[in-house]
């Protein structure tokens, strides 16, 4: 199946699943279906996100015990990368099928994986993490859930901690587009609130075929 056809199929499944279940819970039926059919999960590249890798390279080495939270971890490509780099990682996804797969890949690293709805994080996660990693999860949420995520993420940071976001981007005047819905800059910048500041914001075309507009943003809690 061509990549575009796979995406189309994923959109159809996503659409059907959204009609029959609540909120983000449709992801579980989607992952389950992918396990039992020929449908490929379109974001399952088997490699860590290249923009995250670039950001982590620039950040350099981390001290032992630095705590990272990988939200919407899927099959754990980014979780594994964080674990390899010495982070103590909490990986989380709303899909138990995805979390089970991520768990099966991280035995060599300091990683815990939990099924959670990130929009209702456990109270113990408040102010717990030095780094919160958000790769392509906000963009799969419709606007009300997305706004909720923007308000939740800063609450999970320790003072001095960072949030890194990678997502599809669009101009406010562009059409909303189709799933996964590209974000506008001001939605992402909404993470900067009270003591959380925007550190950097990149708006670029990637090297996919065809190229996609992406945002890479970093925030820090002062
Ligand atoms: C497009 S995938 C990205 C997966 C991974 N971050 C990556 O880059 O490969 C979005 C992921 O977010 C998860 N997700 C969606 N809504 C969620 C929620 N409310 N809480 C936790 N995970 C969620 C989905 O199950 C899915 O695995």
28, 30, 32, 33 alpha-carbon torsion, rounded to 10°: 160
Which of 110, 115, 156 shows the shortest CA–CA distance to 134?
A: 156
Are residues 70 and 24 part of one domain?
Answer: no
Are residues 78 and 65 part of one domain?
Answer: yes
The reported pTM is 0.94
- pLDDT recorded at residue 22: 65
- pLDDT recorded at residue 177: 81
Are residues 79 and 67 part of one domain?
Answer: yes
Are residues 158 and 122 part of one domain?
Answer: yes
Question: Phi and psi of 200, rounded to 5°?
Answer: -155, 155
Tell me how far the alpha carbon of residue 205 lies from the centroid of ligand 1, in angstroms: 22
Tell me how far the alpha carbon of residue 72 lies from the centroid of ligand 1, in angstroms: 3
Q: What share of the chain is helix, strand, coil (3-state, %, to 5)?
A: 35, 25, 35
pLDDT by 10s per residue, the chain, length 222 = 567 777 777 777 667 766 765 677 789 988 998 888 877 888 888 999 999 999 999 999 999 899 999 999 999 999 999 999 999 999 999 999 999 999 999 999 999 999 999 999 999 999 999 999 999 999 999 888 999 999 999 999 999 999 999 999 999 999 988 888 999 999 999 999 999 999 999 999 999 999 999 999 999 999
User: Residues, the chain, total?
Assistant: 222
Q: Which residues form ligand 1's pocket by a CB distance below 6 Å? A: 24, 27, 43, 49, 72-74, 77-78, 93-95, 98, 117-119, 135-137, 140
Are residues 84 and 7 part of one domain?
Answer: no
Tell me how far the alpha carbon of residue 138 lies from the centroid of ligand 1, in angstroms: 8
Range of the domain at 119: 45-221
Specify the residue with its C-alpha closest to ligand 1, atom 16. 24
Write out the DSSP string of 180-204: SPPEEHHHHHTT--TTEEEEEEEEE
Residues 175 and 158: their CA atoms lie apart, in Å, by 36
What lies within 8 Å, CB to CB, of 37 at 6+ separation is none
Under DSSP, the state recorded for 125 is: G
Tell me how far the alpha carbon of residue 46 lies from the centroid of ligand 1, in angstroms: 15
Are residues 167 and 106 part of one domain?
Answer: yes
What CATH number is attached to the domain comprising 109? 3.40.50.150
Are residues 65 and 35 part of one domain?
Answer: no
The strand pairing partners of 214, in sequence order, are 168, 204
Pairing status of strand 129-135 against strand 196-205: unpaired
Are residues 151 and 94 part of one domain?
Answer: yes
Is the sign of the CA dihedral 107, 108, 114, 115 positive or negative?
A: negative
Are residues 195 and 86 part of one domain?
Answer: yes
Are residues 145 and 81 part of one domain?
Answer: yes
Looking at the structure of the chain, the number of domains it has is: 2
Are residues 133 and 26 part of one domain?
Answer: no
Are residues 158 and 109 part of one domain?
Answer: yes
């Amino acid at each position: 199946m061509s990549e575009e056809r796979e995406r189309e199929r994923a959109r159809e499944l996503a659409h059907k699943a959204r009609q029959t279940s609540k909120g983000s819970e449709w992801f579980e039926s989607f992952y389950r279906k992918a396990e039992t059919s020929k449908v490929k999960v379109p974001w399952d590249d088997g490699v860590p996100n290249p923009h995250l890798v670039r950001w982590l390279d620039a950040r350099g080495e981390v001290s032992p015990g630095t705590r990272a939270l990988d939200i919407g971890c899927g099959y754990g490509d980014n979780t594994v990368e964080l674990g390899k780099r010495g982070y103590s990682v909490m990986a989380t996804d709303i899909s138990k099928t995805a979390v089970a797969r991520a768990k099966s890949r991280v035995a060599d690293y300091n990683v815990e994986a939990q099924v959670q709805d990130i929009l209702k994080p456990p109270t113990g996660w408040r102010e717990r993490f030095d780094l919160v990693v958000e790769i392509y999860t906000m963009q799969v949420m419709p606007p009300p859930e997305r706004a909720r995520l923007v308000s939740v993420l800063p609450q999970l940071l320790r003072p001095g901690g960072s949030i890194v976001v990678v997502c599809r981007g669009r101009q406010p005047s562009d059409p909303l587009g189709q799933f996964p819905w590209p974000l506008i800059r001001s939605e992402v910048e909404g993470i900067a609130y009270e003591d959380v500041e925007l550190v950097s914001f990149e708006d670029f075309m990637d090297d996919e075929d065809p190229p996609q507009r992406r945002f890479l943003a970093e925030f820090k809690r002062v």
